[in-house]
Amino acid sequence: MDINRRTILTGGVAAAAVAPAAAQAQAQTPHGAPTKPLTLVNVAARDVLSLDGDWRYSIDPYRDGAAGFHGEQAGYGHRRYDTFNVEATMRANPNALIEYDMELSPTANLPSSWLTHEPTLRRYVGLMWYKRTFTLSGAAGKRAFVHVGAANYATTVFVNGTQIGAHEGGFTPFAFEIPAALVREGENQITLGVDSEATWDTVPPRVTDWENYGGITRGVHIVLTPQTFIDDAWIRLTREGRVAATVRLNGARARNAEVRVRIAALGLTLHGRTDGDGVWTGEAAAPRNLERWSPDRPQLYAVRVETAGDTLRERVGFRTIETRGDQILLNGEPIFLRGICIHEEELGAEPSRIITPENARALLTLAKEGLGCNFVRLAHYPHSEITTRLADELGLLVWSEIPVYWRINWENPRTLETARAMLAENIRRDRNRAAIALWSIGNETPLGEARLRFLAQLAADVRALDDTRLVTAALLTERRTQDGKPLMVLNDPLAEHLDVLGVNTYNGWYSNDALADVPGIAWRSDYGKPMIFSEFGADAKSGFHDAEGTHKFSEEFQAEYYRRTLEMAAKVPFLRGMSPWILKDFRSPRRQHPVYQQGWNRKGLVSPTGGRKQAFAVLAEHYRARAAN
């Protein structure tokens, strides 16, 4: 894949900075009563019943449980989400024909992608049904919601045989209210239909460079709330150095309701009343004793948000991130981002993309303590909230992104709405994380007018949702020759809409450059904005050695590639960070060399089980030197 190729662009675009329509789209309960888009921020701190554990599952490649053979509603005997007992029904009624039985189907321990709970399903692309029961007690007088941390890719949720909502997007949380008429004190049934199929209209599209882990990959919870509750609370330090809070209530008494935000350690209380939409924003000068968050001192504060009948706890760091010319400033001081890219796969020979606190800590500690990073690019989709909260605790700045990746259908309005909703879900879930510094809206997308319009809208959405962070994307560059030497020119028109210009560069791997010539490659940007190398890397099969270091896929070649690329990087005056590709080898169906790849992308600095390749020490030494300056 030659990522330096580009086409000539014509025309300009403007984008209205409005909150994404899809994110405002009224999620319909089965009875048509509109419900507000839900965030249920910091769901783990709420009154929750975890549905982790055994679920029954039933494969449905022809989506028989979703539609009949003429496309009408699925017929009796095919609806996996029905609630009657199949065996008893067939014994009682000899005419009954039912061609599934969730009670007698195999069980899987969730959360888990299906290739994890059933390895023969690695290449299965399609619909999978999951069902379990749960017992509710103490729900009287409360509201009940189903909250899904993530399910890849499109999910339909049924409770007690009735659909309560549907969601598209494999990496962001979603929640639907269980209408009061459906909630039972005692045993309830929940069924999720999860369809992993990516098309040319989905986000990401059909072709990516990573394994498609289909299934329920993050926890499912039943959440009980008061009739009126705190749905979203965003607490932050503004660039003007003020502590600000925005709180959104949901429920009949959301309007004109009193709200308080207390930060006891700072002796600070903000309070006020919500408006007609149930929203309140307040701010105050930052107390003098406020200690700002930074990678070196990741100071977090306990925050309590209160309103009549509901209290929500959060832990928040306060810092500012901005640009000044071609510098990135953290708390007003220039910073160089010493980063590494990470896919969401745990260390181990058979990764399953199930991120536990231990798995996340192993990856982030390898970056922070092993390489000396102060920054990680969580590629190419929103990672688990476990990971972003841990980055807050450990002190790692984060590039967070949605999978607007390669060949998106820029012309399809529905694709745009999916991307906008995904972006809003990601930002609303994580904008209390001080670690997150950058929201990325795309990766290596081919130039064109429709693409520019699409991405300009996403950049505007970021600014509408969060005016305290930076907007970025991984851009393509144009290769020229100047005075007989290669010159990389950054002139992607999307740069006008960004604060920080990410560039993926693979000279010496995907190009014909001899490694010895890479340091001589010059860079030019006409934007006066900070650039970061959001990717560079080379494959190496751990343990494969080549004394001359000229054989691609050898550890020696990868180490020399890093030395030469780092030499080139040191000469770029507007380079303000880097996140080489990638911390760990990861699964990718596109990588099928029978000796060196076997279905893995081998650009990791460590092997799947964490074995450090020679290039690991090269980058670690480089970062130690940079940190010392």
- Comparing CB distances to ligand GCU, the nearer of 375 and 533 is 533
* Strand, coil or helix: 566: helix
- Comparing CB distances to ligand GCU, the nearer of 192 and 408 is 408
Work out whether 381 is an interface residue with ligand GCU (CB under 6 A).
Answer: no
- Comparing CB distances to ligand GCU, the nearer of 40 and 379 is 379
Cβ pair 212, 196 in contact under 8 A = yes
* Residue 141: exposure state from Cβ atoms within 10 A (0-12, 13-18, ≥19): exposed
Tokens of 386: 């476990």
* Strand, coil or helix: 140: coil
Sign of CA dihedral 161, 164, 165, 171: negative
- Smallest gap, in angstroms, from Cβ of residue 3 to ligand GCU? 6
- Comparing CB distances to ligand GCU, the nearer of 443 and 525 is 443
Work out whether 601 is an interface residue with ligand GCU (CB under 6 A).
Answer: yes
- Smallest gap, in angstroms, from Cβ of residue 6 to ligand GCU? 14
At 319, the amino acid letter reads: R
List the one residue out of 574, 503, 504 whose CA is nearest residue 537. Answer: 504
E strands, 79-159, are: 107-110, 112-113, 127-136, 143-148, 151-152, 154-159
- Comparing CB distances to ligand GCU, the nearer of 110 and 376 is 376
- Smallest gap, in angstroms, from Cβ of residue 345 to ligand GCU? 12
Work out whether 614 is an interface residue with ligand GCU (CB under 6 A).
Answer: no
- Comparing CB distances to ligand GCU, the nearer of 136 and 404 is 404
Q: What is the per-residue burial (b if ≥16 Cβ within 10 Å, else e) of 210-224?
A: bbbbbbbbbbbbbbb
- Smallest gap, in angstroms, from Cβ of residue 346 to ligand GCU? 18
Report the site for ligand GCU in 189-218 (rule: CB under 6 A). 209
- Smallest gap, in angstroms, from Cβ of residue 521 to ligand GCU? 17
Torsion of CA 438, 444, 446, 450, to 10 degrees: -20
- Smallest gap, in angstroms, from Cβ of residue 405 to ligand GCU? 7
Report the site for ligand GCU in 523-542 (rule: CB under 6 A). 535
- Comparing CB distances to ligand GCU, the nearer of 2 and 333 is 2
- Comparing CB distances to ligand GCU, the nearer of 223 and 518 is 518
- Comparing CB distances to ligand GCU, the nearer of 225 and 504 is 504
Work out whether 171 is an interface residue with ligand GCU (CB under 6 A).
Answer: no
Return the residue of 78, 132, 420, 603 that touches ligand GCU, per CB under 6 A: 603
Strands 154-159 and 600-601: unpaired
Sign of CA dihedral 331, 441, 147, 342: negative
Residues making up the chain, counted from first to last: 629
- Smallest gap, in angstroms, from Cβ of residue 85 to ligand GCU? 47
Strands 154-159 and 162-168: antiparallel
The secondary structure of 280-295, three-state, reads EEEEEECCCCCCCCCC
- Smallest gap, in angstroms, from Cβ of residue 509 to ligand GCU? 8
Q: Which residue number places its CB atom closest to ligand GCU?
A: 209
* Strand, coil or helix: 299: coil
Work out whether 581 is an interface residue with ligand GCU (CB under 6 A).
Answer: yes
Tokens of 291: 């200690």
* Strand, coil or helix: 264: helix
| Bridge partner residues of 235 (DSSP) | 245
- Binding residues for ligand GCU, rule CB under 6 A, total 11
- Smallest gap, in angstroms, from Cβ of residue 29 to ligand GCU? 38
Report the site for ligand GCU in 487-516 (rule: CB under 6 A). 504
Report the site for ligand GCU in 436-475 (rule: CB under 6 A). 443-444
- Comparing CB distances to ligand GCU, the nearer of 444 and 513 is 444
What are the residues binding ligand GCU (CB under 6 A)?
Answer: 1, 3, 209, 380, 443-444, 504, 535, 581, 601, 603
